[in-house]
Structure 1
Amino acid sequence: MWRPRRDRRQRGDGSGGSVPNIERAAPFEIDAGVEAGIVLIHGFTGAPQEVEPIASALAEQGVSSIGPLLPGHGSEVSRLNRVDWRAWTGAVEDAYREARRRWGSVLVGGLSMGGGLALHLAAHHSAALRGAVALATPLRLHHLALPILPWLSRVIDSTTKKGIGISDPALARARVSYDRRPLAGALQLDRFLGALRQELHAVTCPLFLAHSRGDHAIPFSSMGEIVAGVSSRSIDTLELSRSDHILPLDVEREQLIERIVRFVLANLD
């Protein structure tokens, strides 16, 4: 049975910014029993739980899924500060290879950084992928401290998050995520996004992109930048307005997931 790459120290002792509801910060697999599947990737400091509603909806339509837990996640913030961005792309490649072994037709999708990792995979495997889904996906970080982040990350381990990324407070309480932002990890994210921008033109498979104008983490303009940078001939976009950043868990999730299911099924025909 497939086992995703994991930091052997992934289970923390609760210190250093552990994950609330840590028992829910686990990878998932859903076998729908057919020859089609999707790799679904969570975001920076998040967990597979934030993309699992997409997997559940697709399973009802006969589409299987793998949701890996990315290295440095699901434990303590300090673990994420020790991860090179290539460990994330490597984990996604592992999940993709397993998906190809199991299913004849494969797509990839992700939220935020996970959307960037989905685009990275598409840049390298567009000919084999049936499509890619990128939700609230950045191509660059926007922060006043970014120019000094290499220095800052050596003297400060992490900072408190300003928000949870979900507009509905009741829904936000259920999210599984680190409660602090690791600065060395953020530097690795910035380096990954720099590499992604250089290879974006290699994405040629069908795309589904969604972003909310209410996103407080990533500017809405990022979706347009992705559209302009890829070489895909088929691009579906969805503009939301009432959601924040964690789209699959927020108030417009039903509309979003319906569109994703429609996109996936259309590209499996």
Structure 2
Amino acid sequence: MTKLHVRPGAESFFLPGNSTGILICHGFNGTPQSVRYLGEEFAAHGYTVYAPRLTGHGTHVNEMEEATYLDWIDDLHEAYLLLKQTCHSIFVIGQSMGGALALHLATKEKFDGVLTINAALSVPEYEVLANQVEPRFITEGKPDIKDLEATEITYDQVPLKAVFQLLNIMKVVKQELPKVKCPSMLFVSPEDHVVPAQCTDDIYNSVAASHKEKVILPNSYHVASLDYDKDKIVEHALNFIQSHAKNAIVAS
């Protein structure tokens, strides 16, 4: 396939800083734009931040149709390896499917901590499509954000094949949760119209982290990184990072 142009604003971003790195992963049908505010706030506190763009996102739905969840795992892993070149302490943050990918990577590599924002272990609207062979593309509604002034770069429709890839990675991560041993901070919006809040409870109850905490986002919907509680996410994440840097646990 011919290499496609990335939509303006949807590009990966790297913000150099100190030796503590923060890897941020956007969600399914999102782009780094959805987590840029968080990244810039972390960078303003001196941290090195990298938010990669997952394969097939922010370009064209035809490219997304060819992507697999293994591509997305590789994208995040390559970003981790890049951060590792200059950072001796690394945290990974993921929103929605990005949260699932972050948890998966935390079972494979060494992190000082993993943070999730409405991590996806279940998406009921997609799960009913599991045995369908058509339509080729699924129409998407408006991004689930309470703040009406916020905007997210997304596709108006997503490939059914890509939905299947999302279902696959969620299934994998559900089985891996007991292998997550690094400190964990789990953000959850009780009013989330995409991912049930129960997913975060399941993660909290399943990970083997010696330190784990759940933070409620009462004034945000699913895409909380762009919503009213985004500064609360920054505040709690910064405190967590400051507390756990240089105490990395090796995954096994």
Give me the TM-score of the superposition, normalised by structure 2. 0.93
Q: Give 3-state SS (helix, strand or coil) of 1:209's partner.
A: strand
CA distance in 1, matches of 2:92, 2:241: 10
Q: Give 3-state SS (helix, strand or coil) of 2:22's partner.
A: strand
On the 8 A contact 1:161/1:179 being kept in 2, the answer is yes
On the 8 A contact 2:187/2:217 being kept in 1, the answer is yes
CA distance in 1, matches of 2:21, 2:227: 24
> 2:46 maps to which residue?
62
> 1:146 maps to which residue?
127
On the 8 A contact 2:204/2:214 being kept in 1, the answer is no
Over residues 101-159 of structure 1, what are the superposed CA-to-partner deviations in whole Å (9 max), with x where a residue is unaligned? 1111111111100111110010112xx2110111011112313x63553433xx31212
Does residue 103 in structure 1 map to residue 87 in structure 2?
A: yes
Distance 1:161 1:148, change over 3 A: closer
Does residue 10 in structure 1 map to residue 4 in structure 2?
A: yes
> 2:249 maps to which residue?
none
> 2:71 maps to which residue?
87
> 1:251 maps to which residue?
228
Q: Which runs of 5+ in 1 are unaligned?
A: 1-6, 13-21
> 2:181 maps to which residue?
204
Q: Give 3-state SS (helix, strand or coil) of 2:55's partner.
A: coil
On the 8 A contact 2:15/2:50 being kept in 1, the answer is yes
Q: Give 3-state SS (helix, strand or coil) of 2:188's partner.
A: strand
2:56 to 72, 75, 85: 72
Does residue 26 in structure 1 map to residue 11 in structure 2?
A: yes
Alpha-carbon distance, 1:181 to partner:
2.8
Q: Give 3-state SS (helix, strand or coil) of 1:29's partner.
A: strand
Alpha-carbon distance, 1:8 to partner:
5.6
CA distance in 2, matches of 1:99, 1:58: 15
> 1:232 maps to which residue?
209
> 2:137 maps to which residue?
158
Q: Give 3-state SS (helix, strand or coil) of 2:107's partner.
A: helix
CA distance in 2, matches of 1:109, 1:200: 16
Identity over the aligned pairs, expressed in percent?
Answer: 27
Alpha-carbon distance, 1:83 to partner:
1.0
Alpha-carbon distance, 1:198 to partner:
1.4
CA distance in 2, matches of 1:158, 1:197: 26
Does residue 48 in structure 1 map to residue 29 in structure 2?
A: no
Q: Which amino acid aligns with 1:228?
A: N
Alpha-carbon distance, 1:206 to partner:
0.4
Q: Which amino acid aligns with 2:8?
A: E
Alpha-carbon distance, 1:178 to partner:
1.4
Q: Which runs of 5+ in 2 are unaligned?
A: 247-252
> 1:215 maps to which residue?
192
CA distance in 2, matches of 1:242, 1:182: 31
Alpha-carbon distance, 1:10 to partner:
3.0
CA distance in 1, matches of 2:84, 2:36: 20
Does residue 133 in structure 1 map to residue 115 in structure 2?
A: yes
